[in-house]
Amino acid sequence: MIESWRWYGPLDKIELGEIAQTGALGIVNALHEIPYGEVWTREAIAARQTMIADAGHGQKWHVVESLPIHERIKRGEGDLTELFANYRQSMANLAAEGLTTICYNFMPLIDWTRTRLDHPLKHGGTSLRFEQRQICALEMFMLERAGAENDFTPEIVAQAKQWYDQSTEDDQTALIAAIMAGLPGAYERYDVTSMKEALKLYDGIGRDDIRSNYARFLAEVIPAAQDLGMRFAVHPDDPPRDIFGLPRVMSNAEDIAWVFAQQDAVENGLTLCSGSLGANPANDVPAIAREFSERIHFAHLRNVAKDADGSFEEAAHLDGDTDMVELVSVLLGEEQARKEEGRADWELVWRPDHGHELLHDIGSGTHPGYPLIGRLRGLAEMRGVIKALSHKNVQFS
């Protein structure tokens, strides 16, 4: 398995030399400074590759994460001809520069969502956390979303009202800032007022509509990916449930099967994110990986610990609810099968995902969820699992 590291380019506080010291020489990157819908030029792509190469550490840009999808495509709004043409041109430009794997998501309006970025850990350090009472307070009492109370239990509604009544303006500002933290680069951030307006654009758009718009997107890009020799890898919803009244359509095995059925081609594949899928109590992540192993083109390895009320937090990679040893065994087994088929691209690219802020990470200003030391810990733990399972006497799942 190819070790990689998400790097935010010039926006990142972590330098390529520091990443090289972790031992991960694969780079996962995107041109985050380019807004939705605009073409990624060959010149801009090549400049980023040159920046990585000129650092002199032997690093290589392996996966594009992400080539963002314009919100109008998700809403199916207006004439989308130019947006689809721009997207395909960006694909062609990436392929021309040797980049053939694109990680993306189809989450409406908001990317990964947490309510706190600095939840304290028992022995020091902090983690990301998703708290049901706070998301309920935001939806019901700050955004005043009609019908929000129907999406939560009476117990959570009562806790949300208590939190809201006791919260300060700073508490509420911190909550909305945490929600916005999942949007990297040139993505629009919202305050409460602008988020209310943004949500209005999705009024009347239901699950079937989102699925229809997603199917159209796949029909527009997967044939182009086949022509270009590219692989698309959809990232699951995070959290894997509807949120803010917006339908999410990539949350479980049924959703993954639906996505693959829209364009039944190997180019239409999956980013296996163990943390996103693992936040749904109904998901057996190793079983999902086993079922769809042939279509996994990229992997995010992390873990979560879930509460009974639907809250969850980022756990250490080997300490959460998902059996990461079993999961890695599935991935190694798929690698072995691809190697035996004689495929040149048999190795799976993976990266340690969200890490705890530990030691000198705290206060360093790195992207939320993407500290140096915390991810290094995750990388080292998963590296050990991979090494142990790769021993000649171990049988893969």
pLDDT at 392: 61
Instruction: Report pLDDT for 302.
Output: 97
Distance CA 240, CA 251 (A): 4
Given the residues 354, 356, 361, 367, select the one marked as catalytic. 354
Mark whether 370 is an active-site residue.
Answer: yes
User: Is residue 183's pLDDT more than 90?
Assistant: no
Annotated catalytic residue within 8, 164, 190, 370: 370
| Domains of the chain: residue spans and CATH | 2-113+202-389 (3.20.20.150), 116-199 (no CATH)
Nearest to 319 by CA among 115, 125, 131, 133: 125
Rounded Cα gap, residues 393 and 343, in angstroms: 24
Judge whether 235 counts as a catalytic residue.
yes
Question: Mean pLDDT throughout 1-5?
Answer: 97
Catalytic (active site) residue 123: no
CA–CA dist 123, 125 (Å, integer): 7
Q: In what order do the strands lie in the sheet with 116-120?
A: 116-120, 126-130, 312-315, 303-306
Catalytic residue among 8, 353, 356, 367: 353
Is there a cis peptide before residue 352, judged by omega within 30 degrees of 0? no
**Tokens, residue 269:** 């594949």
Residue 185 pLDDT > 60, yes or no? Answer: no
Output the pLDDT for position 391: 82
Catalytic residue among 235, 297, 356, 367: 235
Tell me the pLDDT of the chain averaged across its residues.
95
pLDDT of 138 strictly over 70: yes
**Does the CA dihedral 101-105-111-113 come out positive or negative?**
negative
pLDDT in tens, 15-32: 999 999 999 999 999 999
> Active site includes 353?
yes
Q: Indicate which residue of 238, 273, 361, 367 is catalytic.
A: 273
Buried b / exposed e along 200-236 (16+ C-beta atoms within 10 A): eebeebeeeebbebbbebbebbbebbeebebbbbbbb
